[in-house]
Structure 1
Amino acid sequence: MRVVTVCGMGFGTSLMLLMDIQAIAQKHGFSVEGEAVDLGSAKGKTCDFMVASSEIASELSGEAVHVISINNLLDKKEIEEKVMPIIRQMT
């Protein structure tokens, strides 16, 4: 499974989000590969789903894959509650 995490600059926030998602998936027995990118690079990326802050996610609404919007990027519980159903659905 491949995820693309998106933030304004493509490092920092998106990298932290990717690492959180990978740790959460591993805790549940799933393996997730991914890439942290900036908003401009995210358009048209090949992946199973995208994850971004609510502000950035609205800019990705035209993508062909599911875009998960996270309100509080520091809230691991919110990330887990929103990401795990998608991971389970895709496996």
Structure 2
Amino acid sequence: MKILAVCGMGFGSSMVLRMTIESVLRELGITATVATADIGTAKAETADIIVTSSEFATMLADKNVPVITITNYVDKNEMKEKLQPVVQK
């Protein structure tokens, strides 16, 4: 499974998202590859799940994969609540 953490530039925010995603996946005992990308790259990248802000989610809606929107990138509870149902399908 490949999860893509997306932000505007592909550096700061996406790295924070990636660390939070990886932490939650470890807690859940789920193995996945978590990559980071800027919005432009994300449009061309393949992934099974995309995690981003609501601002960028609308730009990625045509990807035909689940797009999870996160408000607080460091909130593990929010991440777990939104990511767990999707990764455990």
TM-score when normalising by structure 2: 0.92
Pairing of 1:29-68 with structure 2 (within 5 A): 29-68=29-68
Structure 2 SS opposite 1:47: coil
Structure 1 SS opposite 2:17: helix
User: How many residue pairs align between the two structures?
Assistant: 89
Identity across aligned pairs (percent)? 40
- Per the alignment, residue 2 of structure 1 pairs with 2
Which is richer in helix?
2
Structure-2 separation of matches of 1:68 and 1:76: 14
Structure 2 SS opposite 1:62: helix
The offset of 1:75, in angstroms, is 2.0
Contact 2:20 2:73 in 1 (8 A): no
Could you list the runs of 5+ residues in structure 2 that have no partner in the other structure? none
Q: CA offsets, 1:31-87, max 9 Å, x none?
A: 121210000000131111100011111211111211111122232211110001111
Structure-2 separation of matches of 1:46 and 1:77: 26
The offset of 1:6, in angstroms, is 0.3
Greater mean deviation of Cα atoms: 67-76 or 31-40: 67-76
4+ runs deviating over 4 angstroms: none
TM-score when normalising by structure 1: 0.90
Could you list the runs of 5+ residues in structure 1 that have no partner in the other structure? none
Structure 1 SS opposite 2:85: helix
